[in-house]
Amino acid sequence: MAKERTCFQLSFLIFLSLFSKFVSLEATKLSPNSSISNAAGCVELERKALLWFKQGCSEQTGHVIKLHLQNPYNSTFIDPGDSTELAGFKFSCLSGKISLSLLELKKLNHLDLSWNDFQGKTIPEYIGSLSELSYLDLSGASFSGLVPPHLGNLSNLRYLNLYLGKLLICFLPCRNCICRDLRRNFPDSLPTTNLTALRILRLGFNNFSNFLPRWLSNISTLEVLDLSISGMKGPIDHISRRKLCKLQLLYLSNNDISGETVDLVAVLSGCGNASLEALQLVGNKLSGQIPGSTGHFKQLRSRYLQSNSFSGSIPSSIGSLNDLETLDLSSNAMNGTIPDSIGQLSKLVSLNLKWNSWIGIVSETHFLSLAKLERFY
């Protein structure tokens, strides 16, 4: 028990050292006889910041390279009726003002402050001076205000997560970011000149009430685009004429998107795209026939098109999707036939065609090679 109390006290010192509502890093003193002070490899000043967080320093240089200060309680998974979990979340939150002492960690490349409570404060400008940062996670930490343009100095940044904040984003920094998570922080306009390596863009779970953003046209490197449950509305042509030829995962579900998918599919299949693996358009207002050109997506594994207003028949080209595992066309206005070629989908596990007005006969041919089929509705 005494050891646990000691660990807690030492752990708490890291909070004191990093937030100026307590004390600065330089003022944190450790006993020369402390087992921590004898730890091998760390630069003295940086070791004081680490304490008992077990965030190792580089064995080669002795510098602190990672700080995991996230709240272990993620508020999105807490039951509001569970007083114990709520108390644990509140007790575990860091708060106050982030101290300049953070700048002592010259080689820091990974900083995670997610799911704390900074009580609406702005993101400190000097985080942009941590030039080695490649990973920055400020999600769910109750920051607000303008995202400082100083973050644009972080030329090594690959991952930036600003999910669930009250932030005004007039730019997106860094030239080489691989993943940006800006859900609930949607920018009306976006300069894309620095987004030369952006591969993952997640803007889901919002209430933007926007049309699909035109600036998506310039991000030709995207592999994952998630705009699900984001309040997007209007015709799909904002995206349909773009250059998203490297997409692997496209999520547009549960929005208010209308129009036909012909242009979108034509663009994705017509620019040499053979990498699309998942297409989710669930719960929109899309209509018209499903184009035969969807058969060009040879890598497609899941296709969720339910709860729209698609009509007509399933195109016979469906049989060329050799990797397809899931097909859901339920709750549409399909009023045509189901082609025999659907029986060629040897990897199909789930097939949902209910709540439509199909015509014609379903025979053994339709199930000829569906050896892996587990769910059929």
Tell me the per-residue pLDDT of 189-239, one tens digit each, with 9 for 90 and over. Answer: 554 445 555 677 776 665 656 666 666 766 777 788 888 887 778 777 655
Mean pLDDT to the nearest integer, 45-49? 52
pLDDT of residue 260: 81
Report the range out of 90-104, 293-307, 312-326 with the highest average pLDDT: 312-326
Cα separation, 131 vs 154, in Å, equals 5
Q: What pLDDT digit, counting tens, does each position of 112-161 carry?
A: 988 888 888 888 988 989 988 888 888 878 887 777 777 767 777 777 77
pLDDT at 50 over 80: no
pLDDT at 73 over 80: no
pLDDT of residue 190: 52
Structural domains present in the chain: 54-198 (3.80.10.10), 206-377 (3.80.10.10)
If one compares 350 and 183, the residue with the highest pLDDT of the two is 350
pLDDT of residue 8: 36
Number of H helices, E strands in the chain: 5, 20
Cα separation, 70 vs 375, in Å, equals 40
Instruction: State the pLDDT confidence band at 5, using cuts at 50, 70 and 90.
Output: very low
Question: Which residue(s) pair with 160 in the sheet?
Answer: 136, 180
pLDDT of residue 278: 94
pLDDT of residue 207: 60
Instruction: State the pLDDT confidence band at 366, using cuts at 50, 70 and 90.
Output: very high
| Cβ atoms 166, 144 nearer than 8 A | yes
Mean pLDDT to the nearest integer, 274-297? 89
If one compares 30 and 269, the residue with the highest pLDDT of the two is 269
| Cβ atoms 150, 131 nearer than 8 A | no
Which tokens is 171 given?
Answer: 């730019």
| Cβ atoms 278, 305 nearer than 8 A | no
Cα separation, 257 vs 231, in Å, equals 9
Distances (CA, A) of 327 to 67, 302, 351, 364, 376: 43, 6, 5, 19, 10
pLDDT of residue 324: 96
pLDDT of residue 360: 93
Question: In Å, how far from its chain's centre is CA 291?
Answer: 29
Cα separation, 72 vs 160, in Å, equals 19
> What single DSSP character describes residue 220?
T
| Cβ atoms 245, 268 nearer than 8 A | yes
| Cβ atoms 328, 304 nearer than 8 A | yes
Cα separation, 195 vs 193, in Å, equals 6
Q: What pLDDT digit, counting tens, does each position of 308-354 carry?
A: 999 999 999 999 999 999 999 999 999 999 999 999 999 999 999 99
Mean pLDDT of the chain: 73
